[in-house]
Structure 1
Amino acid sequence: MFNVSKKAVTLGMVATLAAGLMVGCGTSSNTDTSNKTGDAGKTTEPAQAEVSGKITAAGSTALLPLVKQAATEFQTKHSKVTVDVTGGGSGTGLKQVAEGTVTIGNSDVESGKDYEGKGLVDHQVAVAPFVLVTNKDVTLTNITKEQAGKIFTGEITNWKDVGGKDEKITIIGRAESSGSRKLIKQLVLPEGKDFAKDAIAQDSTGALRQTVEQTAGAIGYMDAPYVTDKINVLKYEGVEYKADNIFNGTYKLYAFEHMYTKGEPDKTTKAFLDYMMSDEFQTKFVEELKFIPVSKMKK
Protein backbone atom coordinates (compact mmCIF):
# COMPACT_ATOMS: atom_id res chain seq x y z
CA MET A 1 0.00 0.00 0.00
CA PHE A 2 2.87 2.29 0.73
CA ASN A 3 4.17 1.80 -2.82
CA VAL A 4 0.73 2.51 -4.28
CA SER A 5 0.36 5.71 -2.22
CA LYS A 6 3.81 6.92 -3.24
CA LYS A 7 2.98 6.36 -6.88
CA ALA A 8 -0.29 8.22 -6.49
CA VAL A 9 1.44 11.14 -4.85
CA THR A 10 4.05 11.23 -7.60
CA LEU A 11 1.36 11.23 -10.32
CA GLY A 12 -0.50 13.99 -8.51
CA MET A 13 2.62 16.16 -8.38
CA VAL A 14 3.23 15.64 -12.11
CA ALA A 15 -0.36 16.60 -12.91
CA THR A 16 -0.11 19.74 -10.79
CA LEU A 17 3.16 20.76 -12.47
CA ALA A 18 1.68 20.18 -15.93
CA ALA A 19 -1.34 22.32 -15.10
CA GLY A 20 0.94 25.09 -13.89
CA LEU A 21 2.94 24.98 -17.11
CA MET A 22 -0.24 25.19 -19.17
CA VAL A 23 -1.38 28.25 -17.23
CA GLY A 24 2.05 29.82 -17.72
CA CYS A 25 1.96 29.19 -21.46
CA GLY A 26 -1.50 30.67 -21.69
CA THR A 27 -0.43 33.81 -19.91
CA SER A 28 2.59 34.23 -22.18
CA SER A 29 0.43 33.86 -25.29
CA ASN A 30 -2.02 36.50 -24.10
CA THR A 31 0.81 38.91 -23.37
CA ASP A 32 2.29 38.49 -26.86
CA THR A 33 -0.95 39.23 -28.69
CA SER A 34 -2.33 42.13 -26.66
CA ASN A 35 -1.27 45.76 -26.36
CA LYS A 36 0.72 46.77 -23.31
CA THR A 37 -1.00 48.84 -20.63
CA GLY A 38 0.49 51.66 -18.60
CA ASP A 39 0.21 52.29 -14.88
CA ALA A 40 -3.11 54.06 -15.36
CA GLY A 41 -4.52 51.12 -17.29
CA LYS A 42 -4.48 52.99 -20.61
CA THR A 43 -3.74 51.07 -23.78
CA THR A 44 -0.58 52.09 -25.64
CA GLU A 45 0.17 51.21 -29.24
CA PRO A 46 3.17 48.95 -29.89
CA ALA A 47 6.24 50.93 -30.92
CA GLN A 48 6.96 51.07 -34.66
CA ALA A 49 9.89 49.07 -35.92
CA GLU A 50 12.88 51.41 -35.91
CA VAL A 51 14.79 52.08 -39.10
CA SER A 52 18.34 53.32 -39.48
CA GLY A 53 20.83 54.34 -42.11
CA LYS A 54 21.49 57.16 -44.57
CA ILE A 55 19.36 58.39 -47.47
CA THR A 56 20.72 60.74 -50.14
CA ALA A 57 18.38 62.60 -52.50
CA ALA A 58 19.32 64.96 -55.34
CA GLY A 59 17.71 66.62 -58.33
CA SER A 60 14.76 68.93 -58.89
CA THR A 61 15.08 72.31 -57.19
CA ALA A 62 11.33 72.76 -57.63
CA LEU A 63 10.78 69.77 -55.36
CA LEU A 64 13.58 70.72 -52.98
CA PRO A 65 11.50 72.56 -50.33
CA LEU A 66 9.11 69.64 -49.99
CA VAL A 67 11.80 66.96 -49.72
CA LYS A 68 13.77 69.05 -47.22
CA GLN A 69 10.68 69.42 -45.05
CA ALA A 70 10.04 65.68 -45.24
CA ALA A 71 13.65 64.98 -44.29
CA THR A 72 13.40 67.23 -41.23
CA GLU A 73 10.18 65.64 -40.02
CA PHE A 74 11.32 62.08 -40.74
CA GLN A 75 14.62 62.49 -38.90
CA THR A 76 12.72 63.82 -35.89
CA LYS A 77 10.66 60.64 -35.85
CA HIS A 78 13.61 58.33 -36.62
CA SER A 79 16.74 59.51 -34.85
CA LYS A 80 18.90 56.76 -36.38
CA VAL A 81 18.27 57.97 -39.95
CA THR A 82 20.13 60.73 -41.81
CA VAL A 83 18.52 62.24 -44.93
CA ASP A 84 20.75 64.48 -47.08
CA VAL A 85 18.93 66.51 -49.74
CA THR A 86 20.51 68.59 -52.53
CA GLY A 87 19.35 70.19 -55.79
CA GLY A 88 21.16 70.24 -59.11
CA GLY A 89 18.17 69.86 -61.42
CA SER A 90 16.04 66.92 -62.52
CA GLY A 91 18.61 65.72 -65.06
CA THR A 92 21.25 65.53 -62.35
CA GLY A 93 18.91 63.62 -60.04
CA LEU A 94 18.03 61.07 -62.70
CA LYS A 95 21.65 60.59 -63.74
CA GLN A 96 22.91 60.13 -60.20
CA VAL A 97 20.21 57.68 -59.11
CA ALA A 98 20.73 55.63 -62.28
CA GLU A 99 24.46 55.49 -61.52
CA GLY A 100 23.76 54.53 -57.92
CA THR A 101 25.51 57.55 -56.41
CA VAL A 102 22.33 58.75 -54.64
CA THR A 103 19.46 56.84 -53.09
CA ILE A 104 16.71 58.97 -54.64
CA GLY A 105 16.62 61.07 -57.80
CA ASN A 106 14.05 63.89 -57.71
CA SER A 107 12.55 64.98 -61.01
CA ASP A 108 9.83 67.26 -62.39
CA VAL A 109 9.55 65.08 -65.49
CA GLU A 110 9.34 61.36 -66.23
CA SER A 111 12.65 59.60 -66.74
CA GLY A 112 11.90 58.91 -70.42
CA LYS A 113 13.65 56.80 -73.03
CA ASP A 114 17.16 57.73 -71.90
CA TYR A 115 16.65 55.70 -68.72
CA GLU A 116 14.78 52.70 -70.06
CA GLY A 117 16.35 49.49 -68.79
CA LYS A 118 18.13 51.30 -65.93
CA GLY A 119 15.84 49.79 -63.31
CA LEU A 120 14.41 53.09 -62.10
CA VAL A 121 11.22 52.88 -60.03
CA ASP A 122 8.92 55.93 -60.02
CA HIS A 123 7.31 57.26 -56.84
CA GLN A 124 4.93 60.19 -57.45
CA VAL A 125 4.80 62.27 -54.27
CA ALA A 126 3.07 65.56 -55.17
CA VAL A 127 1.88 67.85 -57.93
CA ALA A 128 3.77 71.09 -58.61
CA PRO A 129 1.91 73.94 -60.32
CA PHE A 130 4.10 76.06 -62.61
CA VAL A 131 3.63 79.72 -63.49
CA LEU A 132 5.00 82.25 -65.96
CA VAL A 133 6.34 85.32 -64.16
CA THR A 134 7.63 88.76 -65.09
CA ASN A 135 9.47 91.67 -63.55
CA LYS A 136 7.19 94.14 -61.75
CA ASP A 137 7.64 96.77 -64.49
CA VAL A 138 5.95 94.60 -67.12
CA THR A 139 2.33 95.74 -67.57
CA LEU A 140 1.00 92.56 -69.17
CA THR A 141 -1.35 90.47 -66.97
CA ASN A 142 -2.27 87.62 -69.33
CA ILE A 143 -0.35 85.62 -71.91
CA THR A 144 -1.47 83.02 -74.43
CA LYS A 145 0.37 79.82 -75.21
CA GLU A 146 1.19 81.15 -78.68
CA GLN A 147 2.57 84.41 -77.32
CA ALA A 148 4.65 82.68 -74.65
CA GLY A 149 6.01 80.23 -77.20
CA LYS A 150 7.11 83.02 -79.53
CA ILE A 151 8.70 84.95 -76.66
CA PHE A 152 10.66 82.00 -75.26
CA THR A 153 11.93 81.01 -78.72
CA GLY A 154 13.04 84.58 -79.47
CA GLU A 155 10.52 85.31 -82.23
CA ILE A 156 8.95 88.13 -80.17
CA THR A 157 11.50 90.39 -78.45
CA ASN A 158 9.47 93.43 -77.32
CA TRP A 159 6.52 93.58 -74.92
CA LYS A 160 4.66 96.02 -77.20
CA ASP A 161 4.12 93.16 -79.67
CA VAL A 162 1.91 91.32 -77.16
CA GLY A 163 0.02 94.32 -75.77
CA GLY A 164 2.58 95.65 -73.29
CA LYS A 165 4.70 98.78 -73.29
CA ASP A 166 7.66 99.41 -75.56
CA GLU A 167 10.30 97.44 -73.68
CA LYS A 168 12.86 94.78 -74.56
CA ILE A 169 12.05 91.27 -73.33
CA THR A 170 14.75 89.43 -71.40
CA ILE A 171 14.25 85.70 -71.02
CA ILE A 172 15.37 84.16 -67.73
CA GLY A 173 15.40 80.36 -67.90
CA ARG A 174 17.02 77.28 -66.43
CA ALA A 175 20.00 75.14 -67.40
CA GLU A 176 19.72 72.12 -69.71
CA SER A 177 19.53 69.69 -66.78
CA SER A 178 16.43 71.39 -65.35
CA GLY A 179 13.14 69.53 -65.27
CA SER A 180 11.32 72.87 -65.15
CA ARG A 181 12.93 73.81 -68.47
CA LYS A 182 11.92 70.50 -70.05
CA LEU A 183 8.38 70.82 -68.73
CA ILE A 184 7.84 74.34 -70.10
CA LYS A 185 9.39 73.26 -73.39
CA GLN A 186 6.86 70.40 -73.61
CA LEU A 187 3.83 72.42 -72.50
CA VAL A 188 4.44 75.88 -73.99
CA LEU A 189 6.95 75.90 -76.86
CA PRO A 190 5.94 74.92 -80.41
CA GLU A 191 6.88 71.33 -81.23
CA GLY A 192 10.50 70.99 -82.29
CA LYS A 193 11.45 74.47 -81.07
CA ASP A 194 13.92 75.35 -78.31
CA PHE A 195 14.53 78.36 -76.07
CA ALA A 196 16.23 81.40 -77.58
CA LYS A 197 20.02 81.26 -77.51
CA ASP A 198 20.26 84.57 -75.67
CA ALA A 199 18.09 83.34 -72.78
CA ILE A 200 19.89 83.73 -69.44
CA ALA A 201 20.20 80.33 -67.74
CA GLN A 202 20.08 79.96 -63.96
CA ASP A 203 21.07 76.88 -61.95
CA SER A 204 18.15 76.98 -59.51
CA THR A 205 14.57 78.21 -59.24
CA GLY A 206 15.56 80.60 -56.47
CA ALA A 207 18.26 82.18 -58.65
CA LEU A 208 15.80 82.48 -61.54
CA ARG A 209 13.27 84.27 -59.35
CA GLN A 210 15.88 86.69 -58.03
CA THR A 211 17.07 87.51 -61.56
CA VAL A 212 13.51 88.16 -62.74
CA GLU A 213 13.02 90.46 -59.74
CA GLN A 214 16.14 92.46 -60.62
CA THR A 215 15.91 92.58 -64.44
CA ALA A 216 13.65 95.09 -66.20
CA GLY A 217 11.45 93.51 -68.86
CA ALA A 218 12.28 89.98 -67.66
CA ILE A 219 10.09 86.89 -68.07
CA GLY A 220 10.70 83.45 -66.59
CA TYR A 221 9.02 80.27 -65.39
CA MET A 222 8.95 78.55 -62.01
CA ASP A 223 6.89 76.33 -59.78
CA ALA A 224 4.27 78.18 -57.75
CA PRO A 225 5.77 77.49 -54.28
CA TYR A 226 8.66 79.88 -55.14
CA VAL A 227 6.44 82.86 -56.05
CA THR A 228 6.74 86.04 -53.96
CA ASP A 229 5.03 89.43 -54.18
CA LYS A 230 8.19 90.87 -55.76
CA ILE A 231 7.26 89.47 -59.19
CA ASN A 232 4.15 89.37 -61.38
CA VAL A 233 2.36 86.08 -62.06
CA LEU A 234 0.71 85.98 -65.50
CA LYS A 235 -2.61 84.40 -66.26
CA TYR A 236 -2.11 81.64 -68.83
CA GLU A 237 -4.64 81.47 -71.65
CA GLY A 238 -6.83 83.78 -69.58
CA VAL A 239 -6.85 81.45 -66.58
CA GLU A 240 -5.46 82.42 -63.19
CA TYR A 241 -3.31 79.91 -61.37
CA LYS A 242 -5.07 78.38 -58.38
CA ALA A 243 -5.51 74.80 -57.28
CA ASP A 244 -9.19 74.63 -58.23
CA ASN A 245 -8.34 75.53 -61.83
CA ILE A 246 -5.95 72.60 -61.99
CA PHE A 247 -8.63 70.27 -60.60
CA ASN A 248 -11.22 71.46 -63.14
CA GLY A 249 -8.75 71.17 -66.03
CA THR A 250 -8.64 74.83 -67.08
CA TYR A 251 -5.08 75.59 -65.90
CA LYS A 252 -2.56 73.49 -67.81
CA LEU A 253 0.86 74.29 -66.33
CA TYR A 254 1.59 71.63 -63.74
CA ALA A 255 3.62 68.47 -63.30
CA PHE A 256 3.64 65.36 -61.14
CA GLU A 257 6.74 65.33 -58.98
CA HIS A 258 8.75 62.11 -59.16
CA MET A 259 11.18 60.52 -56.72
CA TYR A 260 13.05 57.69 -58.45
CA THR A 261 14.87 54.81 -56.81
CA LYS A 262 17.13 52.30 -58.53
CA GLY A 263 15.06 49.16 -58.07
CA GLU A 264 12.65 48.78 -55.20
CA PRO A 265 13.68 50.91 -52.21
CA ASP A 266 15.30 49.35 -49.15
CA LYS A 267 13.47 49.33 -45.81
CA THR A 268 14.67 52.75 -44.67
CA THR A 269 14.08 54.49 -48.01
CA LYS A 270 10.64 52.91 -48.30
CA ALA A 271 9.77 54.19 -44.82
CA PHE A 272 10.80 57.70 -45.91
CA LEU A 273 8.75 57.56 -49.12
CA ASP A 274 5.79 56.11 -47.24
CA TYR A 275 6.01 59.01 -44.81
CA MET A 276 5.93 61.51 -47.68
CA MET A 277 2.77 59.81 -48.97
CA SER A 278 1.15 59.60 -45.54
CA ASP A 279 -2.03 61.53 -44.75
CA GLU A 280 -0.11 63.41 -42.06
CA PHE A 281 2.51 64.79 -44.45
CA GLN A 282 0.29 65.23 -47.52
CA THR A 283 -2.44 67.06 -45.59
CA LYS A 284 -0.23 69.27 -43.47
CA PHE A 285 2.98 70.01 -45.31
CA VAL A 286 2.28 69.46 -49.02
CA GLU A 287 -0.48 72.06 -49.14
CA GLU A 288 1.30 74.34 -46.66
CA LEU A 289 4.26 74.50 -49.06
CA LYS A 290 1.87 75.28 -51.99
CA PHE A 291 2.12 71.90 -53.68
CA ILE A 292 -0.95 69.76 -54.39
CA PRO A 293 -1.43 66.31 -52.78
CA VAL A 294 -1.41 63.58 -55.40
CA SER A 295 -4.53 62.08 -53.83
CA LYS A 296 -6.54 65.14 -54.91
CA MET A 297 -5.54 64.62 -58.54
CA LYS A 298 -6.93 61.09 -58.51
CA LYS A 299 -10.44 62.02 -57.40
Structure 2
Amino acid sequence: MCDIFPAFFFVRKRFMADNTQKFTVFDFFRLYPDDDTCLEAIFQLRYGHLTTCPNCGRARKRFHRIKARKCYECRACHHQLYPLAGTPLAGSTTKLTVWFFAIYLFATSRNGVSAKELQRQLGVTYKTAWRMGQQIRELMVAQEATDLQGVVEVDEALLGGVARGGKRGWGAANKTCLLGMIERGGQVLVIPVEKRNGATILPLVQEHVQPGTVVNTDEFQIYDKLPSMGYGHQTVVHSKYQWAQGEAHTNSIEGYWSNLKKSIRGTHTFVSPKHLPRYLAEFSFRHNHRQQPAQMFEKLLEGCSRCH
Protein backbone atom coordinates (compact mmCIF):
# COMPACT_ATOMS: atom_id res chain seq x y z
CA MET A 1 0.00 0.00 0.00
CA CYS A 2 1.22 3.51 -0.72
CA ASP A 3 0.10 7.12 -0.51
CA ILE A 4 -1.45 8.72 -3.60
CA PHE A 5 0.73 11.85 -3.50
CA PRO A 6 4.21 10.65 -4.56
CA ALA A 7 6.81 13.24 -5.49
CA PHE A 8 6.66 12.23 -9.16
CA PHE A 9 3.23 13.85 -9.59
CA PHE A 10 4.53 17.28 -8.67
CA VAL A 11 7.60 16.78 -10.88
CA ARG A 12 5.29 15.80 -13.76
CA LYS A 13 3.02 18.80 -13.25
CA ARG A 14 5.95 21.21 -13.18
CA PHE A 15 7.53 19.60 -16.26
CA MET A 16 4.32 19.85 -18.30
CA ALA A 17 3.97 23.53 -17.36
CA ASP A 18 7.57 24.46 -18.18
CA ASN A 19 8.33 22.38 -21.29
CA THR A 20 6.38 23.35 -24.38
CA GLN A 21 9.04 22.86 -27.06
CA LYS A 22 10.57 19.50 -26.20
CA PHE A 23 9.66 16.20 -24.60
CA THR A 24 12.55 13.79 -24.97
CA VAL A 25 12.51 10.03 -24.43
CA PHE A 26 14.67 10.61 -21.34
CA ASP A 27 12.00 12.95 -19.96
CA PHE A 28 9.36 10.32 -20.64
CA PHE A 29 11.13 7.48 -18.82
CA ARG A 30 11.97 9.80 -15.93
CA LEU A 31 8.30 10.65 -15.50
CA TYR A 32 6.83 7.19 -16.20
CA PRO A 33 9.35 4.52 -15.16
CA ASP A 34 6.85 1.76 -14.25
CA ASP A 35 3.19 0.68 -14.30
CA ASP A 36 2.53 1.99 -10.77
CA THR A 37 3.54 5.48 -11.82
CA CYS A 38 1.37 5.29 -14.94
CA LEU A 39 -1.65 4.15 -12.92
CA GLU A 40 -1.05 7.01 -10.48
CA ALA A 41 -1.11 9.47 -13.37
CA ILE A 42 -4.48 8.12 -14.58
CA PHE A 43 -5.85 8.24 -11.02
CA GLN A 44 -4.82 11.89 -10.63
CA LEU A 45 -6.32 12.85 -13.99
CA ARG A 46 -9.59 11.09 -13.28
CA TYR A 47 -10.08 11.65 -9.54
CA GLY A 48 -7.67 14.47 -8.74
CA HIS A 49 -10.57 16.91 -8.42
CA LEU A 50 -12.09 14.99 -5.50
CA THR A 51 -11.52 16.43 -2.05
CA THR A 52 -13.42 13.75 -0.14
CA CYS A 53 -14.29 10.09 -0.52
CA PRO A 54 -17.45 9.82 -2.68
CA ASN A 55 -18.78 7.10 -0.35
CA CYS A 56 -18.11 8.24 3.25
CA GLY A 57 -17.12 11.91 2.82
CA ARG A 58 -13.72 11.53 4.51
CA ALA A 59 -10.69 13.41 3.16
CA ARG A 60 -9.50 12.03 -0.19
CA LYS A 61 -5.89 11.88 1.01
CA ARG A 62 -6.85 8.78 2.99
CA PHE A 63 -7.04 6.77 -0.26
CA HIS A 64 -4.21 4.31 -0.72
CA ARG A 65 -3.19 1.95 -3.51
CA ILE A 66 -4.19 -1.73 -3.64
CA LYS A 67 -1.57 -3.03 -6.02
CA ALA A 68 -3.07 -6.46 -6.67
CA ARG A 69 -6.24 -4.91 -8.14
CA LYS A 70 -4.99 -1.72 -9.81
CA CYS A 71 -7.31 0.31 -7.61
CA TYR A 72 -7.32 2.78 -4.71
CA GLU A 73 -9.15 2.25 -1.44
CA CYS A 74 -10.45 4.59 1.26
CA ARG A 75 -8.88 3.69 4.61
CA ALA A 76 -12.05 4.70 6.45
CA CYS A 77 -14.83 2.87 4.56
CA HIS A 78 -12.82 0.66 2.17
CA HIS A 79 -14.60 2.12 -0.86
CA GLN A 80 -12.55 1.37 -3.98
CA LEU A 81 -11.92 3.48 -7.08
CA TYR A 82 -10.69 1.83 -10.28
CA PRO A 83 -8.92 4.46 -12.44
CA LEU A 84 -8.98 2.32 -15.59
CA ALA A 85 -12.66 1.31 -15.43
CA GLY A 86 -14.59 2.52 -18.46
CA THR A 87 -11.49 3.91 -20.19
CA PRO A 88 -9.81 2.62 -23.39
CA LEU A 89 -7.21 0.97 -21.15
CA ALA A 90 -9.74 -1.13 -19.22
CA GLY A 91 -9.41 -4.86 -19.77
CA SER A 92 -6.17 -4.52 -21.75
CA THR A 93 -3.49 -7.06 -20.90
CA THR A 94 -0.83 -4.75 -22.33
CA LYS A 95 1.31 -3.07 -19.68
CA LEU A 96 0.52 0.57 -18.90
CA THR A 97 4.12 1.58 -19.61
CA VAL A 98 3.70 0.17 -23.13
CA TRP A 99 0.46 2.12 -23.61
CA PHE A 100 2.08 5.31 -22.34
CA PHE A 101 5.09 4.90 -24.61
CA ALA A 102 2.80 4.34 -27.61
CA ILE A 103 1.03 7.62 -26.75
CA TYR A 104 4.43 9.29 -26.42
CA LEU A 105 5.40 8.11 -29.93
CA PHE A 106 2.19 9.57 -31.37
CA ALA A 107 2.77 12.85 -29.54
CA THR A 108 6.37 13.32 -30.67
CA SER A 109 6.35 11.87 -34.20
CA ARG A 110 6.22 14.42 -37.01
CA ASN A 111 4.77 12.16 -39.70
CA GLY A 112 2.67 9.63 -37.84
CA VAL A 113 3.29 6.14 -36.48
CA SER A 114 2.47 3.00 -38.43
CA ALA A 115 1.35 -0.24 -36.83
CA LYS A 116 4.58 -1.92 -37.94
CA GLU A 117 6.58 0.81 -36.24
CA LEU A 118 4.60 0.33 -33.03
CA GLN A 119 5.18 -3.41 -33.29
CA ARG A 120 8.94 -2.88 -33.55
CA GLN A 121 9.15 -0.24 -30.84
CA LEU A 122 6.84 -1.89 -28.30
CA GLY A 123 7.62 -5.56 -28.86
CA VAL A 124 3.94 -6.50 -29.24
CA THR A 125 2.13 -8.40 -31.97
CA TYR A 126 1.01 -6.60 -35.11
CA LYS A 127 -2.64 -7.10 -34.15
CA THR A 128 -2.05 -5.47 -30.77
CA ALA A 129 -0.05 -2.62 -32.31
CA TRP A 130 -2.77 -1.92 -34.90
CA ARG A 131 -5.50 -1.91 -32.24
CA MET A 132 -3.52 0.41 -29.96
CA GLY A 133 -2.85 2.81 -32.82
CA GLN A 134 -6.53 3.00 -33.77
CA GLN A 135 -7.60 3.61 -30.17
CA ILE A 136 -5.09 6.43 -29.80
CA ARG A 137 -6.34 7.97 -33.06
CA GLU A 138 -9.89 7.82 -31.69
CA LEU A 139 -8.71 10.06 -28.84
CA MET A 140 -7.52 12.54 -31.46
CA VAL A 141 -10.88 12.43 -33.27
CA ALA A 142 -12.57 13.57 -30.06
CA GLN A 143 -10.33 16.67 -29.90
CA GLU A 144 -10.70 18.02 -33.43
CA ALA A 145 -10.99 21.75 -34.03
CA THR A 146 -14.62 22.87 -34.45
CA ASP A 147 -14.69 26.67 -34.23
CA LEU A 148 -12.36 28.30 -36.76
CA GLN A 149 -12.03 32.07 -36.96
CA GLY A 150 -9.80 34.93 -38.08
CA VAL A 151 -8.69 34.38 -41.68
CA VAL A 152 -9.64 30.87 -42.80
CA GLU A 153 -8.55 29.15 -46.00
CA VAL A 154 -10.88 26.53 -47.50
CA ASP A 155 -9.96 24.07 -50.21
CA GLU A 156 -10.64 20.54 -51.48
CA ALA A 157 -8.20 17.78 -52.34
CA LEU A 158 -8.21 14.21 -53.63
CA LEU A 159 -6.57 11.37 -51.73
CA GLY A 160 -6.23 7.76 -52.81
CA GLY A 161 -4.48 5.29 -55.05
CA VAL A 162 -3.74 5.72 -58.74
CA ALA A 163 -6.70 4.81 -60.93
CA ARG A 164 -5.67 2.75 -63.95
CA GLY A 165 -7.60 4.03 -66.91
CA GLY A 166 -10.97 5.71 -66.70
CA LYS A 167 -11.61 9.24 -65.56
CA ARG A 168 -8.82 11.30 -64.03
CA GLY A 169 -9.05 14.09 -61.48
CA TRP A 170 -12.36 14.90 -59.78
CA GLY A 171 -14.70 11.94 -59.97
CA ALA A 172 -11.93 9.39 -60.60
CA ALA A 173 -12.22 5.92 -59.07
CA ASN A 174 -10.29 5.03 -55.89
CA LYS A 175 -10.22 8.66 -54.78
CA THR A 176 -11.64 10.28 -51.64
CA CYS A 177 -12.53 13.96 -51.68
CA LEU A 178 -11.34 15.95 -48.66
CA LEU A 179 -12.50 19.34 -47.47
CA GLY A 180 -9.85 21.30 -45.60
CA MET A 181 -10.33 24.42 -43.48
CA ILE A 182 -7.33 26.06 -41.84
CA GLU A 183 -6.87 29.18 -39.73
CA ARG A 184 -3.91 31.18 -40.95
CA GLY A 185 -1.24 30.41 -38.37
CA GLY A 186 -3.73 28.35 -36.34
CA GLN A 187 -5.78 25.17 -36.35
CA VAL A 188 -6.85 22.92 -39.18
CA LEU A 189 -9.86 20.66 -39.76
CA VAL A 190 -10.10 18.09 -42.56
CA ILE A 191 -13.30 16.19 -43.37
CA PRO A 192 -13.92 13.50 -46.03
CA VAL A 193 -16.90 14.43 -48.19
CA GLU A 194 -18.95 12.30 -50.58
CA LYS A 195 -19.56 15.01 -53.15
CA ARG A 196 -17.73 18.15 -54.20
CA ASN A 197 -20.71 20.46 -54.39
CA GLY A 198 -22.28 23.35 -52.55
CA ALA A 199 -24.96 21.26 -50.87
CA THR A 200 -22.25 19.18 -49.19
CA ILE A 201 -19.45 21.68 -48.57
CA LEU A 202 -21.18 24.93 -47.58
CA PRO A 203 -23.06 23.46 -44.56
CA LEU A 204 -19.73 22.15 -43.25
CA VAL A 205 -18.15 25.59 -43.62
CA GLN A 206 -21.12 27.10 -41.80
CA GLU A 207 -20.84 24.50 -39.03
CA HIS A 208 -17.13 24.89 -38.33
CA VAL A 209 -16.25 28.50 -39.28
CA GLN A 210 -17.50 31.43 -37.22
CA PRO A 211 -19.76 33.96 -38.98
CA GLY A 212 -17.92 37.15 -39.94
CA THR A 213 -14.72 35.24 -40.70
CA VAL A 214 -12.79 36.14 -43.85
CA VAL A 215 -12.70 32.99 -45.98
CA ASN A 216 -10.06 32.56 -48.70
CA THR A 217 -10.79 30.09 -51.54
CA ASP A 218 -9.92 29.36 -55.15
CA GLU A 219 -12.33 30.21 -57.97
CA PHE A 220 -14.65 27.22 -57.39
CA GLN A 221 -18.07 28.82 -57.98
CA ILE A 222 -19.87 27.28 -54.99
CA TYR A 223 -17.96 29.68 -52.73
CA ASP A 224 -19.61 32.69 -54.38
CA LYS A 225 -22.46 32.19 -51.88
CA LEU A 226 -20.22 32.82 -48.85
CA PRO A 227 -20.95 36.60 -48.60
CA SER A 228 -24.68 35.92 -48.43
CA MET A 229 -23.97 33.48 -45.56
CA GLY A 230 -22.29 36.19 -43.47
CA TYR A 231 -18.64 35.61 -44.40
CA GLY A 232 -16.03 37.81 -45.97
CA HIS A 233 -14.70 36.22 -49.16
CA GLN A 234 -11.39 36.56 -51.00
CA THR A 235 -10.53 34.57 -54.10
CA VAL A 236 -7.49 33.56 -56.14
CA VAL A 237 -7.84 32.12 -59.64
CA HIS A 238 -5.61 29.07 -59.83
CA SER A 239 -6.69 28.28 -63.39
CA LYS A 240 -4.91 31.49 -64.44
CA TYR A 241 -1.83 30.65 -62.32
CA GLN A 242 -2.74 33.25 -59.72
CA TRP A 243 -1.45 32.01 -56.35
CA ALA A 244 -1.81 35.21 -54.33
CA GLN A 245 -3.52 38.56 -54.68
CA GLY A 246 -2.58 40.81 -51.78
CA GLU A 247 -3.72 39.03 -48.61
CA ALA A 248 -5.84 36.59 -50.61
CA HIS A 249 -4.29 33.14 -51.03
CA THR A 250 -4.76 29.48 -50.08
CA ASN A 251 -1.07 28.67 -49.59
CA SER A 252 -1.51 27.47 -46.00
CA ILE A 253 -4.04 24.77 -46.86
CA GLU A 254 -2.12 23.84 -50.04
CA GLY A 255 1.00 23.34 -47.91
CA TYR A 256 -1.00 21.22 -45.48
CA TRP A 257 -2.25 19.00 -48.32
CA SER A 258 1.33 18.47 -49.46
CA ASN A 259 2.53 17.50 -45.98
CA LEU A 260 -0.47 15.23 -45.39
CA LYS A 261 0.00 13.29 -48.64
CA LYS A 262 3.76 12.92 -48.17
CA SER A 263 3.26 11.71 -44.60
CA ILE A 264 0.66 9.11 -45.58
CA ARG A 265 2.77 7.83 -48.47
CA GLY A 266 5.94 7.76 -46.39
CA THR A 267 4.50 6.29 -43.18
CA HIS A 268 1.47 4.21 -44.15
CA THR A 269 1.77 3.84 -47.96
CA PHE A 270 -2.03 3.64 -48.20
CA VAL A 271 -5.02 4.28 -45.95
CA SER A 272 -8.42 2.75 -46.76
CA PRO A 273 -11.48 5.05 -46.92
CA LYS A 274 -12.99 3.12 -43.98
CA HIS A 275 -10.24 4.18 -41.56
CA LEU A 276 -9.26 7.45 -43.25
CA PRO A 277 -11.18 9.78 -40.84
CA ARG A 278 -9.03 8.58 -37.91
CA TYR A 279 -5.80 9.22 -39.80
CA LEU A 280 -6.98 12.65 -40.90
CA ALA A 281 -7.81 13.47 -37.28
CA GLU A 282 -4.35 12.29 -36.25
CA PHE A 283 -2.57 14.62 -38.67
CA SER A 284 -4.88 17.52 -37.82
CA PHE A 285 -4.33 16.98 -34.09
CA ARG A 286 -0.58 16.90 -34.58
CA HIS A 287 -0.68 20.10 -36.65
CA ASN A 288 -2.89 21.87 -34.11
CA HIS A 289 -0.46 21.08 -31.26
CA ARG A 290 2.75 21.12 -33.29
CA GLN A 291 4.55 23.53 -30.97
CA GLN A 292 3.68 21.68 -27.75
CA PRO A 293 4.63 17.97 -27.75
CA ALA A 294 4.45 17.70 -23.95
CA GLN A 295 0.96 19.21 -23.93
CA MET A 296 -0.02 16.96 -26.86
CA PHE A 297 0.96 13.94 -24.78
CA GLU A 298 -0.96 15.34 -21.81
CA LYS A 299 -4.14 15.84 -23.86
CA LEU A 300 -4.00 12.27 -25.13
CA LEU A 301 -3.46 11.03 -21.59
CA GLU A 302 -6.48 13.02 -20.44
CA GLY A 303 -8.48 11.36 -23.21
CA CYS A 304 -7.36 7.94 -21.98
CA SER A 305 -8.56 8.76 -18.48
CA ARG A 306 -12.14 9.56 -19.59
CA CYS A 307 -14.92 7.01 -19.64
CA HIS A 308 -16.05 5.98 -23.14
* TM-score normalised according to structure 1 size: 0.27
**Looking at CA atoms only, which structure, 1 or 2, has the larger radius of gyration?**
1
Larger strand share, 1 or 2: 1
* TM-score normalised according to structure 2 size: 0.26
Larger helix share, 1 or 2: 2
